[in-house]
């Protein structure tokens, strides 16, 4: 397994214990690699292990969509790491439907469980320890799709929008205890999950949106998992010690804000 590195050549997260959900591929795997490279001890999780789980990370199988999964994961984090200093909620996604009315009830619930409530539940289990230690960093991974919600993905974007709002509120609650909470919002990133979803969307033959990033992304390309991981690493580090309740949009300039 190649280590990509954070480019800083430092061990700025030495001694930190990090938990990353969905670290077996895509953005999560890049985050795990960069945290390891910065000296952190990392535990990651997915529903099943693959050979793409970065070498050097501890891995435990868990499904974050359920309360039982969150509890099992929190217990594993306690056992393996002895506590969590950096928590990255990365697992997420949803399949597209023809339009909003075609999204089944259970898919709305599933999207909420995976993209929103998974974070709420795990934070409720792990944030109290951070509050007690008066330090810790939590990051929620949202999606730039929130900025232009479309019918086929409303279950997903609505859940991510809720996540962003919740993240801000949690940040304000935990700030007096020295715990920072931020959102990272990726634009279109080339990952196994992202590509599979876009193929499904194209097959639905409804307003598929753009197929190439070149025309719409000012920086002229789709994102790479490491583009997002760099932002996560920065927020995890002391270089971001005055940053909380923020939403860092990493999208090549596609959705100008601020």
Instruction: Please report how close the Cβ of residue 169 comes to ligand NDP at its closest, in angstroms.
Output: 19
Alpha-carbon Rg of the chain, whole angstroms? 17
* Calpha distance 193→114 (Å, rounded): 14
Q: Which is nearer to ligand NDP, 156 or 177 (CB)?
A: 156
Closer to ligand NDP by CB, 4 or 64: give it.
64
Phi, psi (rounded to 5 degrees) for 102: -90, -5
Give 17 or 188: the residue with its C-beta nearer to ligand NDP: 188
**Burial class of 67 by CB neighbour count within 10 A (0 to 12, 13 to 18, 19+):** middle
Name the minimum Å distance from CB 134 to ligand NDP: 29
- Asked if residue 186 binds ligand NDP (CB under 6 A), the reply is yes
- Contact between 65 and ligand NDP by CB under 6 A: the answer reads yes
156 is a catalytic site residue: yes
Q: Give the integer Cα–Cα distance in Å for 220 and 93.
A: 24
User: Residue 193, interface with ligand NDP (CB under 6 A)?
Assistant: yes
- 229 is written with which tokens? 């991981």
The answer to the question of residue 91 lying near ligand NDP (CB under 6 A) is yes
Residue 129 token pair: 């320890």
Check 97, 116, 156, 166 and give the catalytic one.
156
Q: What share of the chain is helix, strand, coil (3-state, %, to 5)?
A: 45, 15, 40
CB atoms within 10 A of CB 141: 26
**Residue 79 contacts residue 41 (beta carbons within 8 Å):** no
Nearest distance from residue 121's CB to ligand NDP, in Å? Answer: 12
The smaller minimum CB distance to ligand NDP, of residues 212 and 242, is found at 212
**Residue range at the interface with ligand NDP (CB under 6 A); choices 12-20, 25-33, 101-109, 167-175:** 25-33
63 binds ligand NDP (CB under 6 A): yes
Question: What spatial distance separates the first Cα and last Cα of the chain, rounded to whole Å?
Answer: 39
Positions marked catalytic: 156
Judged by the rule CB under 6 A, the positions of this chain that interact with ligand NDP are 21-28, 45-48, 62-65, 90-93, 114, 141, 143-144, 186, 188-189, 191-194
């Amino acid at each position: 397994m190649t280590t990509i590195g954070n480019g800083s050549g430092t061990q700025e997260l030495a001694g930190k214990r990090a938990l990353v959900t969905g670290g077996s591929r895509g953005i999560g795997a890049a985050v795990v690699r960069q945290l390891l490279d910065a000296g952190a001890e990392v535990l990651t999780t997915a529903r099943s292990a693959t050979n793409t789980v970065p070498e050097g990370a501890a891995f435990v199988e868990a499904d974050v969509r359920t309360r039982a999964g969150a509890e099992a994961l929190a217990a594993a984090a306690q056992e393996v790491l002895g506590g969590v200093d950096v928590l990255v909620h990365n697992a997420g996604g949803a399949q597209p439907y023809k339009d909003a009315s075609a999204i089944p009830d259970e898919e709305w619930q599933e999207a909420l469980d995976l993209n929103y409530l998974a974070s709420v539940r795990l934070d409720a289990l792990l944030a109290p320890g951070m509050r007690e230690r008066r330090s810790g960093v939590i990051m929620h991974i949202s999606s730039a799709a929130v900025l232009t919600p479309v019918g086929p993905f409303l279950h997903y974007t609505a859940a991510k929008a809720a996540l962003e709002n919740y993240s801000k509120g949690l940040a304000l609650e935990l700030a007096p205890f020295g715990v920072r909470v931020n959102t990272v919002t990726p634009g279109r990133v080339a990952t196994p999950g992202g590509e599979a979803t876009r193929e499904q969307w194209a097959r639905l033959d409804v307003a598929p949106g753009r197929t190439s990033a070149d025309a719409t992304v000012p920086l002229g390309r789709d994102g790479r998992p490491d583009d997002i991981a760099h932002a996560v690493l920065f927020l995890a580090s002391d270089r971001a010690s005055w940053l909380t309740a923020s939403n860092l949009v990493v999208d090549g300039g596609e959705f100008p804000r601020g």
